[in-house]
Structure 1
Amino acid sequence: MFEFLRSYIVCLALLSGIIGLISLHKLPGNKAKFLVLLIWFSVLTEIVGYFFTQWTGLLNYYVYNFYMFVSFSAYILLLRSLLQKQTNRISAVLFLILFLISLFLNILYFRKDINHSFTYSFAVGVIVVMMLSCLYLVEIFNSNKILNFKKSVFFWYILGILVFHVPVLPFMLAIKWFLIKQDESIFSLVLFILNFLAHSCYIIGFVWSEKKYNY
């Protein structure tokens, strides 16, 4: 019943991507502009993923596994660039290596046919990003940035990442372990709601942020 909502996810990404382009004047450095690039990469992924089966006759796990690899690697590198403490930055590098190892092991596990959902690599990626995000927030709350953290596009982008990935992880694992039955209608509804919340955070960040806090 809610399968049609999957197509509207592209519209959400397009909306936040367009607002990101309009807000480029408030995104002074490459690091801030990189956020807009990531959103447009998600737009491209959603479009290709939507038509992939129709074009190739194959399941679209190839598309989303590649997106997972690129996006989580980008999130970890982004968080590393935002962290100030050297120990936290080193932790980010180690977590990136851990994520890449999990991805390599997933590929080995499905070496005969890798067109499967890399759920466990996704779980590792979410946990790693969640831990690094906590370190980032702790650094903010222990510095003078706490006075203006809501005016930073990075804060809202990280919040959007967490709002989407933290709830979707237990849902996906429950499907993986057959704790709940996979229903495409419910799956589409959950993905739409979480994407709506995430892109709302991105849009708030672009609109509400101020240039001097986006370096």
Structure 2
Amino acid sequence: MLENIRFYTIYLALLSGIIGLFFFYKLPNNKAKSILVMIWLSVIIEFLGINFSKWTGIINYFIFNFYILISFIYYIYLLKLLVHKIIYKAIANLFLVIYIIFYAINFILIQNNIDETFTNSFAIGVLFVLILSCLYLIEMFNSEKILNFKKSIYFWFILGVLLFHLPYLPFLLALDWFLIERVESIYSFVVFILNFLMHSCFIIGFIWTEKRYNY
């Protein structure tokens, strides 16, 4: 039973996506709306990931590797829009360029097997997102936004992204480096729980957020 629980993460993404549509009126601009677009993209990726191998008999790693590229480009770009200091925006731009170049080099020269997860690209993406998230939170906590941070969809989205990626990274690397044995039931349970935490943050964000704090 547990070995298949990770396939139910699509329903978590679907639930947060539907709730996001219900509170769509709270998302005043393209920056805020892009969060909902990314959630629905994850629904599509989950659906393709579950069914692609059944339809074609081809291993579906390349679907998730593509999503790694798109999602981290989006996270970095969103954080660039959220920070205000010029130096922070410059750091975000630098990270974005480095990440795209690193992904290409990793794909061509290092992890050039499409039948495996691009753990190197995932790791560098998590590192960049963590650094930019810290800059975003520091900037927010040193401003008047701290008084209403719980009412911002951006805070809940970034929190959800961190709650999934930060614990998942060492778990993924341990599996990749054979530090722990891959037991399918444990892997599926971990993936499901982390997705549950992430999408719970998204759902709380949509419910608690107020439109005036999402510009």
Contact 1:163 1:198 in 2 (8 A): yes
**C-alpha distance in 1, partners of 2:67/2:113?**
18
Structure 1, unmatched stretches of 5+, are none
Inter-partner Cα distance in structure 2 for 1:16 and 1:30: 18
- Name the SS for the 1:196 alignment partner: helix
Q: Following superposition of structure 1 onto structure 2, how do residues 40-79 of structure 1 map, counting pairs within 5 Å? A: 40-79=40-79
Partner residue of 2:175? Answer: 175
1:185 corresponds to: 185
Structure 2 length normalisation: TM-score?
Answer: 0.97
How much does 1:181 deviate?
A: 0.6
User: 1:206 and 2:206 equivalent?
Assistant: yes
Q: Which runs of 5+ in 2 are unaligned?
A: none
Higher alpha-carbon deviation: 111-120 or 61-70 = 111-120
Question: Hey, what does 1:33 align to over in structure 2?
Answer: 33
Larger mean Cα displacement after TM superposition, 102-111 or 121-130:
102-111
Deviation per residue, 1:155-197 (Å, 9 max, x gap) = 0000000000000000000001100011111111000000000
- Asked if the contact 2:106–2:112 (Cα under 8 Å) also holds between the matched residues in 1, the reply is no
Do 2:123 and 2:169's aligned partners in 1 also have CA atoms closer than 8 Å? yes
1:69-128, CA deviations, whole angstroms, 9 ceiling, x for partnerless residues?
000000000000001000000100111112112211221135764332100110000010
CA contact (8 A) 2:111 2:118 kept: no
Report the TM-score when normalising by structure 1: 0.97
Return the alpha-carbon distance in structure 1 between the equivalents of residues 103 and 47 of structure 2.
24
Cα RMSD between the aligned structures? 1.1
Identity of aligned residues (%): 55
- CA separation in 2, counterparts of 1:106 and 1:40? 27
SS of the residue aligned with 1:148? helix
What do the CA deviations read for 1:44-68 (whole angstroms, capped 9, x no partner)? 0000001111122121111000001
> Would you say the 8 A contact 1:110–1:116 is kept in 2?
no
Give secondary structure in 2 for the equivalent of 1:3.
Answer: helix
Counterpart in 2 of 1:105?
A: 105
Paired with 2:113 and 2:155, the residues of 1 have a C-alpha distance of 39
Per mean C-alpha deviation after superposition, the further-off stretch among 108-117 and 90-99 is 108-117
Deviation string 1:115-165 (CA, Å, 9 cap, x unpaired) is 321001100000100100000000001111001011000000000000000
Aligned length: 215
